[in-house]
Chain A
C-alpha cells in the first residue's frame, strides 16, 4: 500500500467553444489523490463544472493537455489495455445508451469475462456471470436472452454494474449512475454501490450533481466549479458545514425534503449570474467572484488552497 490508488497531478484540459474558437479550460490544474483503501469519493458539481471531463480523462477517453494521471503510481497511458480494464471500470449515466440496442446485453458480460478476466472455459464464464448477476440481484436465466429495451432502467443499470464487477476492479468510475432513474429506484442502486464498497473492497468515484445522495453514500467529496476543485474533504463535514461560499450557496439552495423547513429555505434568494459561460471561464483569479457574496478585490488573483481541519478550501476568505 505504498502508492495511492489514483493520483491526478496538475491535470488540465482545454476545449474550444463556439465559432470563434474561444478556448477555455474545462479542467484547470487539478491535483487529487485517492488512497488505496476502499471508499467512495464523490466529485460534485453542476453542469459546466468539468466533472464529466475529469471522469473521461480518468477513463482514458480524453487525454489531458497537461499533467498526469497515475494509477498506483503508474501513468495510465503506460498501462496496457488489459491491465487497465482489469483495474478500472466505468458505469455510465444512461443505461440504455451504454449497451448496443442490437445486441443482447449478456454478450457484453461474456466479452468482459473472456477478454478482461481471461476466462476461456465456457463453464467458468457462465459461472462468473451467474455469480455477479445474483450479487446485484438479477437472475441469469431471466436476463440471458434480453435486449436493452426489454429491461427497465433500474435492471439495466444493475446489468451495467454486474459487467463492471466481473474483473473485480480496484476502481469503478460511476458518472451520474442514478440521475436517469426514478427516485424510488435510485436508493437501491446507491445502496448496492455501498454494499460493493463494503464487501468487495472496491473504491468508487461517484460523479454527481445530487448532493443528497452524495451525503448518503460518500466518504470524501470534492466540489468542482468551472474546472477547479474549490473544496475537498470528508463528505459529512463538507456538506454539513460548507466552507467555500459556492458550496454554501449550493447547500442553501437544495430543497429540503421537509415542508416545515420551507420558510427557512425561502429566506435567502440566490444571486443569479447572467450565465454567459465564456465570461466566467475567462476570468482571471477566482471564477466564482461575480456571484460570491463575500467577493473582495484580492479575489482577482488565483486563491490558494488552505487546509482547515482536514478540509482543503480554495478561497481567500480563509487566508
Chain B
C-alpha cells in the first residue's frame, strides 16, 4: 500500500515538474513540433490501402494542388505511388523504430549501468569491461556488417534489436558514472545509518539522480536510432520493402531523383528528419537544463 502511495506522490511531483518545464521556450517549441509530428504519424493510418500499389497513379508527378486529388498533394514517385502517404507512413515507421530502440536500449543501459555502479570487485570489472568495449565499438560499420549478414530477417521489429546492440552502451556508461558519484557522497552514510540497505539506497538515493539522465538518454537514443536507421537505409541495408524516412531517400536516390529534378520526392523525408531531430533535441536540452541542480537550488545556503 505504501508503495502505491509513494508512487502516486512521485507521479504528482513528476507532473508538477512537467508544468514547470513548460516555462522554457525551447520546451514549448520542441513539444509543439513533436505533437505536430506525432499527429502526422497518426494520420498515416488513414492511408488508403491502394497507396502501396505501383503505377496506381501517374508516375513522376510533381505536387498537385487539387482539392479533389488530395493524395497527390506531394506528387508521386517514379513508381506512381503518392508521396503524401508514403511520407506519412515512413514517418510512423521511423518513429516506431526509434522509440522501440530507445525503449530496449536505454533500459538495458539503465539496468547494466546501475549494476555496474553498485558492484564491487571482479563483478564490477567484468561489467565495466563489457560496457567500455561496446562503447568503443565502431557503430556504423558494425551495424552495416550485421545488417548485411541478417538481411533476410530484417523486419520492423528486428531492426530495433540490432540497433540496441550498439545503443545500450552509452546510457550504461552514463548511468554507471552517476551511480558511482552518488554512492560516494556523504548522504549515503546518513542513509545507511538510518537503516536503509542496498535496494533502499538504490531506490531513494540513487534513482532520483539517475532518472533525469535516463529520460534524456531515452530521447537522445530515439534521435540516434532514427538517424542510424536512415544511414543504413541509404546504404540499402534496411527493410526496403517497408517505407521509412531512410528507405524513401534510398529509393529516391536509386531512381536518380536528384538528377531528374524530382525534388518533391527527396524534400519531405529530409525535412521531416530535420524536424524530428530538432524537436526532440529541444525537449532533451530543456529537460537537462531543468535538471541542472544549479537551477534547482540543490544544496546551497
Using a CB–CB cutoff of 8 Å, the interface residues on chain A facing chain B are: 59, 61, 81-82, 85, 89-90, 92, 94, 96-103, 107-109, 111-112, 114-116, 148-149, 152-153, 160, 163-164
Do B301 and A108 touch (CB < 8 A)? no
Do A115 and B194 touch (CB < 8 A)? yes
Identity of the chain B residue whose Cβ is nearest the Cβ of A86 in the assembled complex: B195
How far is the CB of A143 from the nearest CB of chain B, in Å?
Answer: 16
**Bound CA–CA A84/B194 (angstroms):** 11
Name the A residues within 8 Å of B190 (CB-CB).
Answer: 90, 92, 98-99, 108, 160, 163
13 A-B pairs within 8 Å (CB atoms) are namely: A96-B301, A97-B187, A98-B187, A101-B296, A102-B208, A109-B194, A111-B191, A111-B196, A112-B193, A115-B194, A149-B297, A149-B300, A163-B190
Name the A residues within 8 Å of B260 (CB-CB).
Answer: none
Identity of the chain B residue whose Cβ is nearest the Cβ of A88 in the assembled complex: B193
How far is the CB of B16 from the nearest CB of chain A, in Å?
Answer: 14
Name the A residues within 8 Å of B208 (CB-CB).
Answer: 100, 102-103
**Bound CA–CA A100/B196 (angstroms):** 13
Name the A residues within 8 Å of B185 (CB-CB).
Answer: 97
Using a CB–CB cutoff of 8 Å, the interface residues on chain B facing chain A are: 185-187, 189-197, 200, 204-205, 208-209, 293, 296-301
How far is the CB of B132 from the nearest CB of chain A, in Å?
Answer: 22
> Which of A82, A97, A152 has its CB near the most chain B CB atoms (within 10 A)?
A97
**Bound CA–CA A94/B205 (angstroms):** 18
Contact of B189 among A82, A92, A102, A103 (CB under 8 A): A92
Do B195 and A101 touch (CB < 8 A)? no
Tell me whether chain B's interface is mostly helix, strand or loop, or mixed. helix
Name the A residues within 8 Å of B194 (CB-CB).
Answer: 85, 108-109, 111-112, 115-116, 163
Do B187 and A99 touch (CB < 8 A)? yes
Do B195 and A59 touch (CB < 8 A)? no
Do B195 and A114 touch (CB < 8 A)? yes
**Bound CA–CA A114/B209 (angstroms):** 24
Name the B residues within 8 Å of A90 (CB-CB).
Answer: 189-190, 193
**Bound CA–CA A153/B299 (angstroms):** 11
**New A-B contacts (7) at CB < 8 Å, excluding given A89-B193, A109-B194, A149-B298:** A96-B300, A111-B191, A115-B195, A115-B196, A149-B299, A152-B301, A163-B190
